[in-house]
């Protein structure tokens, strides 16, 4: 609880009672403030989660053939992370990174996203760039460590052969900022 005041000697009953009463008022005020703060934090977390889900839905809506893809990738990614022994916080981070992995498809023309035939080499290059566009879009979100890198490298092969010609390295996500 901590100290609120100093009471000198000799102790005067009225002063002591007044100070104890004030300390109890302050304690109640602190508890009330903490409840309000906890509620605001919960509301902010809810808004954060809803915003990410809305962004993922926006991506999926752009290509109806893959509707729900982001949610499925997020779900399975979290299950894999859990199976690998990640902490629950890390599993949540993996979930949200996977949920937003295709955000860069916003920058891919609809004609390419919805094309039923095989993509031309030029169209394929445009499609591959969705990782760079996505990393650029998400680069300023610092609340979710690894978001930019997860988006940028989500098509990298398991043998670490880069799909992208240039890598900036982990923790150095500057996608799309080169001039």
- The residues spanned by each domain of the chain are 13-152
Maximum alpha-carbon separation in the chain: 93
Per-residue confidence (pLDDT) for residue 42, from 0 to 100 = 95
Superfamily in which the 13-152 domain is placed by CATH:
Hypothetical protein af1432 (1.10.3210.10)
Mean pLDDT per block of 10 residues along the chain (179 residues) reads: 73 89 93 97 93 87 80 95 95 94 92 91 92 92 90 79 51 48
Per-residue confidence (pLDDT) for residue 167, from 0 to 100 = 47
Distance (Å, whole) CA 136 – CA 139: 5
Distance (Å, whole) CA 121 – CA 83: 38
Distance (Å, whole) CA 170 – CA 130: 19
- Mark residue 43 as left, alpha or beta (left: phi above 0; alpha: psi -120 to 50; beta: remaining): alpha
Per-residue confidence (pLDDT) for residue 169, from 0 to 100 = 45
């Amino acid at each position: 609880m901590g100290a609120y005041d100093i009471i000198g000697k000799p102790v005067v009953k009225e002063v002591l009672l007044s100070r104890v009463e004030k300390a109890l008022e302050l304690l109640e005020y602190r508890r009330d403030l903490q409840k309000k703060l906890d509620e605001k934090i919960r509301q902010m977390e809810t808004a954060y989660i809803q915003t990410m889900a809305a962004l993922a839905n926006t991506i999926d809506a752009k290509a109806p053939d893959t509707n729900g893809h982001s949610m499925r990738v997020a779900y399975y990614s979290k299950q894999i992370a859990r199976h690998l022994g990640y902490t629950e916080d890390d599993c949540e981070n993996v979930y949200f990174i996977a949920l937003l992995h295709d955000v860069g498809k916003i920058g891919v023309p609809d004609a390419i996203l919805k094309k039923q035939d095989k993509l031309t080499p030029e169209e394929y290059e445009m499609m591959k760039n969705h990782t760079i566009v996505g990393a650029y879009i998400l680069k300023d979100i610092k609340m979710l460590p690894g978001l930019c890198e997860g988006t940028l490298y989500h098509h990298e092969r398991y043998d670490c052969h880069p799909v992208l010609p240039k890598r900036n390295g982990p923790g150095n996500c500057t996608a799309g900022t080169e001039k």
